Structure 1
């Protein structure tokens, strides 16, 4: 019963709100000046909406560029940190290379004195422990003799005729070269066959 009453009330409300079509047309012609003002306001609002949409698009593009720049910065920083971590021992290794050279020169001394021989044995032990510590950090000796000349690994200081080697092959090594992981710390000074 309540449902029927609600439906009747709704139909009555609909009837009361309806205006005859002729009255609507008359009111439209009478209110034509209001419609022109509304049209002007609508045009102004549409222009403002278009302007705001353009600003929004510009801000979105700017945000995307900033986001991409930040991602690039973060990636570049991470790569720099990884490289710094990978080659952190480079300065120490560079400073120790002359020490290694001096140890090698000292170990080449030939002596008959027992005291000097025991000192040389002690120096050789220190030298080996130093080499082991450097190997743990990733330092490697560049192999040169009998290898093809590579300007990235070798520094040619002499050329010589040698029938025992193919042309452009390392014949003799004057100073050892070293690499830290995949980076050349010091190229080997070598003599190359012609």
Structure 2
């Protein structure tokens, strides 16, 4: 809000300066000193018209610059609101990986199974909360390699897969709305 106030104050000062310059020039041209009359030539009038036109053009350019600035600030504000949780989500992603590793543990012990069930409930709650914020898992199984969302860490020649098809996923990738937070680490068929 303070940026807009500063810009509005600056715009008002510019308008006032332009208006004062035009008034001063008109007063000079008219020779309004008390009781004095001066001859105003057509050259002087043309010169004053030119100066007035320059001042108006400068005002219009400043006005356009101000509108562009206002639009940029609005776009920045919208982007900031859209991706406000990005840094927090980026910090949470390694925790999700650890939860997934913990859930892959198999146990025969009843106590360990109940602990694992609790871990799974926490994991599901965390995934649900992230989905509400707009976090999506980047699909990899059977997909073609896309360098914008996938990071190839290995390649392999395998006749069972199409060229450039993802064979295996090593680490899940995530997107926040339309922005990639972390690319998927994958093995790609050559």
Shorter-chain TM-score range = 0.7 to 0.9
Give the aligned partner of residue 166 of structure 1.
162
Within a 5 Å distance, the mapping from 1:1-194 to structure 2 comes to 42=39, 44-194=40-190
More helix as a share of residues: 1
- After superposition, give the CA deviation of every residue in 1:157-192 in whole Å (9 maximum; x if it has no partner): 000112221000110000000000000000000000
Give the aligned partner of residue 7 of structure 1.
none
Q: Distance in 2 between matches of 1:172 and 1:59?
A: 67
What is the deviation of 1:47?
2.0
What is the deviation of 1:131?
0.2
TM-score normalised over the length of structure 1: 0.77
| Rg comparison, structure with higher value | 1
Count of residue pairs the alignment pairs up: 153
Q: Distance in 2 between matches of 1:193 and 1:67?
A: 57
Q: Distance in 1 between matches of 2:118 and 2:171?
A: 23
Point out where structure 2 has 5 or more consecutive residues left out of the alignment.
1-37
- After superposition, give the CA deviation of every residue in 1:60-92 in whole Å (9 maximum; x if it has no partner): 110111011011001111111100000001001
